[in-house]
Amino acid sequence: MDEKKENKKGVKKAAGAVAAWVKGHKVVAVIILALLLALIGLLIFRHVKSSEKKTTAETETVTVERRDLVQSLTLSGTVESGAAYSVSSPLMDVEVKQVNVKVGDTVQKGDVIAVLDDSELRENVSSAQKSLSSAEKKNSQDISNAKRSLRNAEEDEEVQTGKTSKDVKTATSQYNKAVKELNSLKSKLTSAKSELNNAKVNKDRAENNAAADHKTIDEYQKKIDECAAEIAKNEKEINSGVAPDGTAHPEETEKELREKNTELWAELHQNENNITSYKSQPQVAQRLKTESEAQAAYNSAQSSVSSLEETIAETKKKVAALKDAKEKAVQTNEETRRTTSRTVEEQENALSNAYDSASDSLEAPNKELRKAQKDLAASQVVAEANGIVTAVNVKPGDKYKGDAIAVVQDDSSYRVSASADQYDVSSLAVGQNAEITITAADMTDTEGKLIYVGSTPMVSETGAVSTSGSSSSAGSSGGSGANYRVETVIQEPSKNMRIGMTAKVVVTVWKKNNVLAVPDEAIRTNENGENYIVVVNDRGKKRNIDVKYGMKTDYYSEIIGDDVEEGMKVVVPQFGEDGEELDGDTEDISTEDSEE
């Protein structure tokens, strides 16, 4: 109790001392109080702001959604013709007589661009024709002589072998006639066998078609047979007066058996009538008739085949005998022919040599004539295809040295030539789709397709590698570096297009449809370099889910993970003024919370 009183006295004493000091130092006391209040206000303000940022960070989320992701690359280029070619002639050192075009002219395939001096060329053609004609006349005479010698040898052979040859012809004729007869019989046999096969098919088909009819008739017949057997059994019992077990039966039993037989006879006759009635049905009668006729046709075809096989066997013997006769006639004629045939063979070789010699002797003059005619044709320099003349390099009176006379560019098709830098070219490939915009031709997003992607850097006329950047895309490193030529064909050119116009080409590098994606800023990376997202449920509980990157665009990225689901709310990380993440600490959702 005394201690408490002492404490109170101490506090009062201290308060009195402070009050006395404030009285004596009023200005200083006011300044100190103002500073304390300002410091307290600042601390309260920062605490409120920090709380607001944390609240915002905790509630700012994005949704995992299915999207179509597209990555494109934009190139700048120039419109060029689909093809260009130089008009030239293989002739050299000849005078240019005419030039029929000028720059800007439109030409069609076959139009004469220029005419070269052909006076000497015409003389060359005339001289070559004369040389060829002379060689052809000599060859014709040599071949005619060789043919005459061969003909004489063949006539001499025919005279000397006249009689024996006649015997051979007679024997051969008889043999050939017999062979012809045999072949005819074989052909008939083949036809007969085919008919037999067809007849069998028809028979089998008719039998199959009538099978159900026979089954029905057989069922009626079976009932008839059963009735007959039952009647016979009953008649036997009636006549013997003895039951099946050996005992005598009374008169009542005999009466019952006779009544039973009467019923059985009625049933038997009814089934007989059923058979007659069934067979009389038009369709049934037709099937049974078809079956009978098919069986008869099959039997007839079998007989024909057997007869032909016997005749062929006899004819083969006849052919063998006539073949022996022919071989004997040939053997008799052989000795006479051997000598004359040797002469004929020699003359045939001589004729063949004459033909070969003629062909060889004509090769040189023909070649000379073709060259002279080709040179003469080359004096008329023509357009190889339709197009516009973009350069004319000669004039009348010039001595032509073999250079390009003119340059023609095809104006029926167009392409855009552009360049891609070293960081973008690896993502381009022939066949990729593109959208082409040519403002000067009023063309917007016209369809195109890549037809060429350079594998080596573009080189200027001075031999230097081109390094001027002309492409842009997400992820492009930019800066100077080697550029690669890219060509895009325009699917539907506009009539307003002109060669040399500037074009923008947007190439679709890749496209992936219906993937789970979020803005790239929502994906985090931990200290181990692993990617994850922070999801929050309806109660504000958070948890981390491991993910992997799939396709990426400038803003959205595909996320892949076993636990990723469409519709999840993903927290977007927020950072304070000091660069630290405001919602860096996450509270993992428990298993029970997750299930709920």
% of the chain at pLDDT higher than 90:
18
CA distance 445 to 437: 5
With bands split at pLDDT 50, 70 and 90, how would you rate the model's confidence at 139? confident
CB 494 within 8 A of CB 484: no
Note whether residue 195 is domain-resident: no
Note whether residue 591 is domain-resident: yes
Q: Which two tokens stand for residue 4?
A: 């408490």
For residue 453, the model assigns a pLDDT of 92
Q: By mean pLDDT, which of 92-106, 266-280, 525-539 is the weakest?
A: 92-106
Of 441, 554, 435, 442, which is closest to residue 504 (Cα–Cα)? 435
pLDDT tens across 449-485, in order?
998 898 888 875 444 555 554 455 544 444 456 889 9
Three-state SS for 420?
Answer: strand
Q: At what angle do helices 119-160 and 162-240 cross, to 10 degrees?
A: 80
CA dihedral 243, 246, 250, 251 (to 10 degrees): 50
Please say if the pLDDT value at position 331 is more than 50. Answer: yes
Q: Cα–Cα–Cα angle for 427, 433, 439, nearest 5°?
A: 105
Note whether residue 194 is domain-resident: no
CA distance 309 to 325: 25
Of 420, 444, 448, 446, which is closest to residue 434 (Cα–Cα)? 448
Domain that holds residue 52: 2-57
In this prediction, residues 30-46 reach a mean pLDDT of: 68
Shared-domain flag, residues 41 and 96: no
Note whether residue 80 is domain-resident: no
pLDDT tens across 172-223, in order?
998 898 899 889 988 888 998 898 899 889 888 888 988 888 898 999 999 9
Please say if the pLDDT value at position 42 is more than 80. Answer: no
CA distance 544 to 568: 12
Phi then psi dihedrals of residue 379, to 5 deg = -75, -20
More confident position, 457 or 25: 457
Residue tagged 């024909």 (tokens): 304
Domain boundary among 400, 435, 462: 400
In this prediction, residues 406-428 reach a mean pLDDT of: 84
Pairing type for strands 65-81 and 94-99 reads: unpaired
Of 283, 278, 307, 299, which is closest to residue 202 (Cα–Cα)? 299
With bands split at pLDDT 50, 70 and 90, how would you rate the model's confidence at 588? very low
Residue tagged 């046709």 (tokens): 297
CA distance 457 to 467: 9
Shared-domain flag, residues 530 and 575: yes
**What is the CATH classification number for the domain harbouring 392?**
2.40.50.100
Note whether residue 34 is domain-resident: yes
409 beta partners: 84, 388
For residue 441, the model assigns a pLDDT of 82
CB 482 within 8 A of CB 421: yes
For residue 153, the model assigns a pLDDT of 84
Mean pLDDT of the chain: 81
Beta strand residue intervals within 25-92, DSSP E: 61-63, 65-81, 84-87
**What is the CATH classification number for the domain harbouring 571?**
2.40.420.20
Of 540, 531, 532, which is closest to residue 61 (Cα–Cα)? 540
Q: Is 2 exposed, middle or buried, given 0-12, 13-18 or 19+ CB atoms closer than 10 A? A: exposed
For residue 29, the model assigns a pLDDT of 62
Of 143, 148, 135, 153, which is closest to residue 354 (Cα–Cα)? 143
For residue 484, the model assigns a pLDDT of 92
With bands split at pLDDT 50, 70 and 90, how would you rate the model's confidence at 430? very high
Query: Percent helix, strand and coil across the chain, each rounded to 5?
Result: 55, 25, 25
**Structural domains counted in the chain:** 3
Shared-domain flag, residues 21 and 93: no
Shared-domain flag, residues 533 and 583: yes
With bands split at pLDDT 50, 70 and 90, how would you rate the model's confidence at 226? very high
Q: Is 278 exposed, middle or buried, given 0-12, 13-18 or 19+ CB atoms closer than 10 A? A: middle
For residue 270, the model assigns a pLDDT of 93
Note whether residue 215 is domain-resident: no
Please say if the pLDDT value at position 160 is more than 90. Answer: no
Cα separations in angstroms, 65 against 25, 152, 262, 516, 554: 69, 101, 92, 5, 17
For residue 16, the model assigns a pLDDT of 59
CA distance 205 to 213: 13
Note whether residue 318 is domain-resident: no
Note whether residue 232 is domain-resident: no
Shared-domain flag, residues 31 and 91: no
Most confident of 1-5, 80-84, 439-443, 501-505: 501-505
Please say if the pLDDT value at position 41 is more than 70. Answer: no
Q: Which two tokens stand for residue 280?
A: 């009389």
pTM equals: 0.38
